[in-house]
Amino acid sequence: MATGTYDRPTTTAPQRGTTAARTEAGTVGRRRRTMAIPRTRGLLSGFVLVLLGIWGGLIPFVGPYFGYEFGSDQTWAWSWNRFWLDILPGAALLIGGLMLVGARNRVSGILGGWLALCGGTWFVVGLTVARLWDGTDPIGAPLGSNGLQVLELLGYFYALGAVAIALAGMALGRMSVVGVRDVEVAEARGNLDEPAAAHGAVGDEDEAPPRRRRLFRR
């Protein structure tokens, strides 16, 4: 009597949804990888924009303390024209700069950059556009000598807005670049981990199906 053994592999139907789960997990990983940025990406430009926003919003009210006056020599002189031309764009620079400082993804960084860009642009063009609702100088004229008047125009509006536009444009350019550092940050944060469901599906597929053994005797 001879005894023989042989293995008969059991065929299993391919698991549906495994490929879809892998594709979905890969898509999510790529999306997160391209959206994540290092915290230092907008730190410097955002910090300077915050300082410019504080300067632009406060200088009309505190400038008369040290003879840097525009339209009035009174400190803390409030008017709606000062709100539209100084406080509002200054707040845009401040908020946009803070968003850039704390940005950890491209959406918040780009939004902060555009907000700061709008604030800087308004500092440059606002004094001229304001003539549409006020035929004369909306907040008066700069005071002091000719040289001081030039410095006041630059410090209150034109140079302030130009520097803000340059910084905001630089920040927006940096936010649009996907570098190796961005991928490393995304991996460090665990953004490339697959969903638990995808892990389960892949794990089930990787396990080899059991092989049945039967003993036949003759």
175-203 tens-digit pLDDT: 877 766 666 655 665 544 545 444 444 44
Neighbours of 179 (CB within 10 A): 12
What pLDDT does residue 48 have?
96
Q: For the beta carbon of residue 20, count every other beta carbon within 10 angstroms.
A: 11
In whole angstroms, give the CA distance from residue 108 to residue 45: 14
186 or 21: whose pLDDT is higher? 186
Helix (H, G, I), strand (E, B) or coil at 63: helix
Burial of residue 132, with CB atoms counted within 10 A of its CB: 0-12 exposed, 13-18 middle, 19 or more buried: exposed
Are 7 and 211 a contacting pair, CB within 8 Å?
yes
Q: pTM of the full predicted structure?
A: 0.69
Query: Residue 28 pLDDT more than 50?
Result: no
Dist. CA 202–CA 21, nearest whole Å: 8
Residue ranges of the domains in the chain? 14-36+189-207, 40-177
Q: Say if residues 146 and 101 touch (Cβ distance below 8 Å).
A: no
CA dist 105 and 42 (Å) reads 10
Over residues 100-155, the pLDDT tens digits come to 998 888 888 999 999 999 999 999 999 889 888 877 778 888 887 888 899 999 99
Rounded Cα gap, residues 96 and 129, in angstroms = 23
CA distances from 133 to 57, 92, 218 (A): 21, 22, 108
Which of the pair, 5 or 89, is modelled with greater confidence? 89
As a dihedral over the C-alpha atoms of residue 187, residue 191, residue 192, residue 195, rounded to 10 degrees, the angle is 150
Q: What percent of the chain has pLDDT over 90?
A: 36
Mean pLDDT computed over 46-72: 92
State the alpha helices, DSSP H only, in 36-158: 43-62, 80-82, 88-101, 106-129, 146-153
Going by pLDDT thresholds of 50, 70 and 90, the confidence category of residue 51 is very high
Q: Mean pLDDT throughout 86-97?
A: 96
